[in-house]
Chain A
């Protein structure tokens, strides 16, 4: 049953005006779509990511994310890691002993796993369930080590907000939109 208009439409002029404005609105939307199509690339999709060359390890990643725990996690670039026994990303500056005791660890949530490989090499890996993205280990590794630990936004967790809350308060202005096809910075070093 069609929604019938009242038997005597009040003013047909009004209906005409309405139709005109509606047409104008549709034209406007069409123009908008056209403009958007000239801008939209063939490969759409942007996600947020941290540039490790700009990150200053301020600690905001752990607290500013809308998620709890943060979508930012530390990642390990194994080919760069030195596998040191005294890993400065793992141990506090003056550890009591090179053990896995909590007081010796830099990580506040003990999210770094230290595994003996062979003399004198130890493997360090991140447990993402525990990591809160605070960047303390990244600071230790970057300041004294090879910089194989760095912070990245993990896209199996990130909600891809319109505006990243961490990006607004990032002390290094390190968080920007990157194409969804290349969502991570894979760190390689090039020393001379």
Chain B
């Protein structure tokens, strides 16, 4: 009997010791791994949200809401009126924000471009339509490819340029709708690297020097092409800092100032900047603090829901469309409009 008792006693003590020892080890490990107060997994970009005042040469002079919801892109006509695509409509506003006209279309409109003779060209995701100045449909041009996703339009005297981000190409049409050229496709023989487009933000603009300006978001560059498709120059660098283009794919939209300087829009850190013709940063029009709602739009989904678009008028004022806030902001240079003609 006694032997049984002592063995049982020993085993019992042993079990208790083992259990308590294991517990102590686990508790000790937990206590050592205690969480610090700050979020150690924070992705911190606060320092990039503030802009050094030395760059801020523009001030906001007006702000007005777009009359229709789901505004996407803005264009400026020869009459200096603003043409805003919003939902299934194209709204024509004057520079004070008053609605002058409105064109209704069967499906959502993406881009707008207005020719010198008043014809309005719009892109409806995968094809183009030509409207007259009253909004009557004149023609419809199909895209030669499948998976077309038009995200940019620019119209000159004789040509129309449509940027198709789905097929990573800029299409050149003549004014009758005939496809003349495919610009920007990857071609090692012509030293064209091709557009890198993670998201649908390919924009094309006509520049006073006769070249096209196209953004290459995946490479954080602005490229210049001849209308024949030769690449002339490229500038831009990837950085979160103010000098370059932030994130993984920026700039997303371009505009050309009368003197030839280039306005760029970025998403992620919503910024609108002005660069010289050679690609040196000249000024910041507005930074993330101005577009607070736009930055917050990224929070739940992804940053392709944000985006900005800009145009410039003859006087050098810059109109920035915020699709999230559904409004237009007007910026003018602080030191007067004449300063915009100073070459840089």
Contacts and interface: CB of A to CB of B under 8 A. Distances in A.
Nearest to A119: B193
A148 B44 CA distance: 20
Majority DSSP secondary structure for residues of B touching A: loop
Contact of A62 (B41, B239, B301): B41
Interface string B45-76: 10010000000000000000000000010000
A82 B39 contact: no
A87 interface: yes
B240 A147 contact: no
A108 B302 contact: no
Given A83-B198, A93-B48, A192-B72, A144 B41 contact: no
A120 B196 contact: yes
A93 B45 contact: yes
A143 B303 contact: yes
A148 B305 CA distance: 14
B101 interface: no
Interface string B217-259: 0111000000000000000001111000011110000000000
A86 B35 CA distance: 31
Nearest to B306: A143
A191 B43 contact: no
B20 to A, nearest CB: 21
B41 A145 contact: no
- The size bracket of the interface on A is 35 or more
A61 B218 CA distance: 31
Interface residues of B, number: 40
A145 B200 contact: no
A100 to B, nearest CB: 17
Contacts of B298: 142-143
A83 B42 CA distance: 23
Nearest to A140: B43
Nearest to B199: A146
Interface of A: 53-59, 62-63, 81-88, 93-94, 106, 108, 120, 134-136, 139-147, 172, 189, 191-192
CB-CB nearest 9 A-B residue pairs: A82-B198, A147-B302, A144-B247, A134-B41, A144-B268, A59-B41, A139-B43, A84-B248, A93-B240
